A and B are shown apart, each in its own frame.
Chain A
Amino acid sequence: MSDITAPAYRAIPIIPALKPGAMEGKGPFIATDKMNEALGFPGHLVDDWHDRAIAKMGELLSKYRSFKVFMDACVHCGACSDKCHYFIGTQDPKNMPVARQDLLRSVYRRYFTLPGKLFPKLVGARDLTREILDEWYNYFYQCSECRRCSLFCPYGIDTAEITMAAREILDSVGYGQKYTNEILGKVHRIGNNLGLPGPALIDTLEGLEEDVKDATGFDVRFPIDVKGAEVLLITPSADFFAEPHIDSLIGYAKVFHASGTSWTLSSMASEAGNFGMFIGNYEQLRKIALRIRVAALELGVKRIVVGECGHAWRVAYSFWNTLSGVGSGANENDHFAMMLQKQLDHRYKQPAHICEFTWDLIERNALTFDKSANDKYIITFHDSCNVARGASMGDLPGGQFEIPRNIIKAVANNYVEMPLNTIREQTFCCGGGGGVLPDDLLEIRVKGALPRMEVLQQVADEHGVNFMATICAICKAQFTKILPIYGFDRKVVGGVHQLVSNAIQLGQK
């Protein structure tokens, strides 16, 4: 791994020339039989993979309108072709969103369309071979499902949907990715992605209480499994021990403490992340989301708040109401959803992002800050892809962009934006999202971070930026690893609530 170096910054960010085959390979480590079987997938590649893969594709085409329409509608216009960070970083043409889609579309055309059955060569249709299956495995794990390409498609074709379908097909024939499937197993078995068992978690939280007491002199609590608490906090498990994630967890706790909110974590649902989305498997997605429902019902909480995690916020904001009934506005006869929705307090957004929670307090003037505590930082904000393009915050469209920035500006004095075509809805993925975070994918992670690193370098040179705030556990983990490869200090990345934690004045109100 040590031979992986950062690609050179582009002098002018022009569209790179193609380097066919640049990222050919075997793809990420494959899952063991045990990992696959724990999720109900075949342990390893089945003998009749060809027929099963085609059957699965047919099933998905009948279950997901997105997949069906996206397979048909593409005209190969090229609008998306230069929009993917992995293409920009690797120059491999198969990392152009349209070409990535075509890996699957060519097989769709062969088996599900008349022209593809009659004239495969003419319309670029291909028989599904073992080589193509391997190609899927390699290139569909070089997509972080960040949806940047979908923004520019005249038909709204979302490569994330196609990547999810491809991974779902691969899993269904026993060709799963180790990283994702192993973690999914841990969530089911232990309750979180990191496999941190309940007692260890309680221990960690007690340690944190002592640390914060030493640092501030205040008894900031990190409660867990408290029945009757007002707020259930669902946060990525990385927040419990990884750096810099843990500093944001301390930030949330201080906000709860300062506002006098009774809150709790849950040992059963000690994970906001939902890797079911990465593999596009509805049953997994749903099963993991249900843990939060069960925890909320058992603890009797009134509000559900989600910590800093990008894809988790997409799942929570966009999918929880569907998957588990965590939300509002269910039909009166919808017993499943109403069971929970009757319990929740609908004066608040359900679920709410921790940034919505904190910003609401700031707006009501309920928190006090010493902004100078962050004066050593010149801060910029990296919009995380799933928050930017798969979710929102607050009442107004674009709240997911304004609210975190508003918080930063409320707790710090020095704030600078990166160039407009690399932030907000046009933000570049960190390079490690959607299941691309394991170290066996380090090369694609480093190359995929190029567009973000280029503009970070630019604002660092021009404005002295030395802190890039973000609200995603994967972004934080990815940048911590990648920043040094690009010549930055790993501590340049951190959470928004890390800044909140630095500046918040406890015992003031």
Chain B
Amino acid sequence: MASIVFAILFYFATLLLVVGLLYRIYIYARTPVPLKIPTTPAPTTTGGVVLRMMREVVFFESLFKSNLWIWGLSALFHGSLALVLMRHLRYFTDPVWGWVDLIQPFGMYAGLTMLLGLCGLWWRRIFVERIRYISTPSDHLMLLLLIGIAASGLMMKFVVHTDVISVKEYFIGLMQFNILTLPADPLLFMHLLMVMSLLVVFPFSKLLHAPGVFFSPTRNQKDDSREKRHIAAWAKKLEASE
């Protein structure tokens, strides 16, 4: 029974994530950018913009300039999350890809550092007056959700082992639209339910910062306003009468 419920939930959550995100990206992409607003230091070439976006997305360059605590903790969290996600590919691939095997030991400990980063970020949210002031209940809940996901995952890895072989078979089954049996493990259920919640809220919440950063005009525009005329379609229409 649980296997079927989880299967339905997973299909639903995945669909919502993919459709929701694609819809958001479509909205961002179709919304015009009427003016040139890159912030200094703005690159003057496309290559420069690509480099700037890479530094921003991979190294969180602006955050680094702002505050080393927030930068360190979020870099720790995001970096660890990336490793953890890559490690989790082993539950969806058979045979497991070579490089996924290679990072397995790092991926395991990344779970711990991810938890550490999250707790640090939450600590700041609670104890730093300015950040407490700007926090909404959903900001706390989002961190709690991620902490819950990390903690339940780590518990299964290091304390109460779950039958990962069956879990893997179940998910590979799901990918082939074939519903097998999911081990009846409360910890696993919790872990999966929380992951699904995350997938569902992603396109409706501040997690949109992930696609959003790529569409941020202050970061992705070239500084060439004097060299090339930039004009939005709705603004061009105003010129019809001139």
Chain A residues at the B interface, C-beta cutoff of 8 Å: 15, 17-18, 20, 61-66, 68-70, 72-83, 93, 96, 98-99, 102, 113-115, 121-124, 147, 150-158, 161, 282-283, 286, 290, 317-319, 321-322, 325, 327-331, 334, 336-337, 349-351, 388-390, 392, 397-398, 400, 425
B134 touches A99 (CB 8 A): yes
Residues of chain B within 8 A of A122, CB atoms compared: 136-138, 141
Contact count band on B: 35 or more
CA A503 to CA B149, docked complex, whole Å: 68
Kindly supply a per-residue 1/0 record for chain B positions 1-16, scoring 1 wherever the CB is within 8 Å of any chain A CB and 0 otherwise. Answer: 0000000000000000
CA A408 to CA B136, docked complex, whole Å: 49
B223 touches A154 (CB 8 A): no
B93 within 8 A of A: no
A322 touches B131 (CB 8 A): no
Q: Which 3 A-B pairs have the closest CB atoms?
A: A73-B212, A124-B136, A152-B66
CA A211 to CA B229, docked complex, whole Å: 42
A81 touching B28 in the complex, CB below 8 Å, given contacts A158-B218, A318-B225, A397-B44: no
Q: Which of B34-52 contact A (CB under 8 A)?
A: 34-37, 39-44
B134 partner, pick from A61, A81, A331, A351, beta carbons under 8 A: A81
11 A–B pairs (Cβ distance < 8 Å), ordered by A? A65-B32, A65-B33, A68-B27, A73-B208, A98-B134, A154-B66, A156-B213, A325-B229, A327-B227, A328-B227, A329-B227
Chain A, Cβ-Cβ closest to B138:
A123
A158 touching B204 in the complex, CB below 8 Å, given contacts A152-B62, A282-B34, A321-B230: no
A79 touches B204 (CB 8 A): no
CA A100 to CA B27, docked complex, whole Å: 25
A155 touching B209 in the complex, CB below 8 Å, given contacts A78-B130, A96-B130, A397-B223: yes
Residues of chain B within 8 A of A20, CB atoms compared: 133
A156 touching B218 in the complex, CB below 8 Å, given contacts A322-B235, A329-B229, A392-B42: yes
CA A93 to CA B132, docked complex, whole Å: 11
A155 touches B226 (CB 8 A): no
B31 within 8 A of A: yes
Kindly supply a per-residue 1/0 record for chain B positions 54-68, scoring 1 wherever the CB is within 8 Å of any chain A CB and 0 otherwise. Answer: 001000101101110
Residues of chain A within 8 A of B124, CB atoms compared: 78
**Smallest beta-carbon distance A500→chain B, Å:** 23
B133 touches A18 (CB 8 A): yes
Chain B, Cβ-Cβ closest to A147:
B39
A76 touches B139 (CB 8 A): yes
A397 touches B136 (CB 8 A): no
A151 touches B35 (CB 8 A): no
A61, A81, A83, A124: most-surrounded residue (chain B CB, <10 A):
A81
Residues of chain B within 8 A of A336, CB atoms compared: 239, 242
CA A106 to CA B204, docked complex, whole Å: 14
Residues of chain B within 8 A of A147, CB atoms compared: 39
Q: Which of B121-144 contact A (CB under 8 A)?
A: 124, 128-131, 133-139, 141
